[in-house]
Amino acid sequence: MDFKEFFANEFEKVSFDVPLKNVTTFRIGGPCSVLVEPLNQEEIKKALAFCKNNGVKYFILGNGSNVLASDSGFDGVVVKLGVHFAQLWEEEGVLFAQSGAFTKSVFDFALKNELGGTEFMAAIPSSVGGAVVMNAGCFGSEMSDIVSRVWATDGKDDRVFSHDEMGFSYRDSVFQKNGFVITKVEFDLKPSSRNYILRLADELKTAKRLSQPLEFFSAGSVFKRPECGFAASLIDRCGLKGKKIGDAQISEKHAGFIVNRGKATCGDVLQLVQIAKSKVRADFGVDLQLELKLLGDTDDIRRLSYSYGVQPR
Ligand SMILES: Cc1cc2nc3c(=O)[nH]c(=O)nc-3n(C[C@H](O)[C@H](O)[C@H](O)COP(=O)(O)OP(=O)(O)OC[C@H]3O[C@@H](n4cnc5c(N)ncnc54)[C@H](O)[C@@H]3O)c2cc1C
């Protein structure tokens, strides 16, 4: 059976030939063959098991805020965990979220329950699952500080990961390598006052607004922070701030971001990535590593992903 037919028959929330620019914050990317939005864990398992058993390519997408998608799209299945898998609840003072919930919703829910620690999450445009996978963070806080347990599946087996089993490090976790899809997250939060939580979240959001080009489409920081400092400052010192290829531009406000000023393509962004990488290597001897995840199967994506050691899916 053709994989499109399987998904059409078996899933309620499924669409075909969906432009990836509609589901990524970069607003870049051609069509994916199937976009399925599971409603529960069983549907996630069914999608994964089918793809694995039938050699169909798949990609797990959260809010698409750390993804650069290929101009020619993706001839496979994008499993999007978002609004249809986004419940939040509290049990005896402990907060839980399904992995498709927005980080901002977790913040709102924690605020309602007067639990502190999620303030930084309000400033990151992410799903809960994506934030755990990336160990997302800002201004000295990150997911590893507040996540105690994670439930995940690989389509066959379900597993619960304790904090120590999640292999957290800077913008990394074991979920970037082990093939498990996060379904549910438990948070370890401390009682706090509503006023304090709101004030801290406001301060963080203001600091972000002042330092990052939030007025343009982007996927956040393009590169990981190298050991010797900040990627943004190295790129800036190479004189590349504002450098444009097509409608893609190294942000004038924050050189660690590449922004889409209208109709940027994946190719435009990849060219800027290559320019920044080779100039920083030549001037400072530093090998910048991509933080972005690449989605697609074009030659460009393949070549870059191999040279960066990043899997295209
Ligand atoms: C304006 C802007 C500001 C940003 N600021 C920050 C910041 O301050 N700090 C920061 O750390 N990041 C920042 N980012 C980057 C991005 O928001 C984070 O990396 C975010 O956590 C990604 O989550 P997501 O749900 O969008 O995941 P996606 O981008 O959809 O996916 C990211 C990776 O996680 C995988 N994945 C997603 N969900 C699951 C799941 N449930 N199970 C298994 N794998 C999964 C995907 O396959 C992919 O490899 C910013 C981005 C933007 C656009």
User: Which class would CATH give 3-83?
Assistant: alpha beta
This prediction's pTM:
0.96
Q: Quick check: 98 and 181 in contact, CB under 8 A? A: no
Residue of 66, 120, 294 best suited for mutating to test ligand 1, as the one with most atoms within 8 Å of CB: 66
Ligand 1 site residues, Cβ closer than 6 angstroms: 25, 59-67, 81, 99, 124-127, 129-131, 133-134, 136-138, 175, 181-182, 214, 218-220, 293
Q: Where are the domains positioned within the chain?
A: 3-83, 86-196, 214-308
Bridge pairing between strands 58-61 and 74-80: parallel
| Average pLDDT of the residues of the chain | 95
Residue of 20, 126, 210 best suited for mutating to test ligand 1, as the one with most atoms within 8 Å of CB: 126
CATH no. of 214-308: 3.90.78.10
pLDDT by residue (tens digit) across 91-103? Answer: 999 999 999 999 9
pLDDT by residue (tens digit) across 111-164? Answer: 999 999 999 999 999 999 999 999 999 999 999 999 999 999 999 999 999 999
Does the domain at residues 86-196 carry the CATH identifier 3.30.465.10? yes
pLDDT at 308 over 60: no
Please state, in angstroms and rounded to a whole number, the distance separating the CA atoms of residues 15 and 68: 20
Range list of β-strands (E), 124-251: 137-138, 141-142, 147-153, 158-162, 181-187, 190-191, 217-221, 244-245, 248-250
pLDDT by residue (tens digit) across 183-234? Answer: 999 999 999 999 999 999 999 999 999 999 999 999 999 999 998 889 999 9
- CA 236-63-27 angle, 5° bins: 60
Residue 124 CA to ligand 1 centre (angstroms): 8
DSSP state of 85: G
Q: Which of 171, 165, 116 is nearest to 143 (CA)?
A: 171
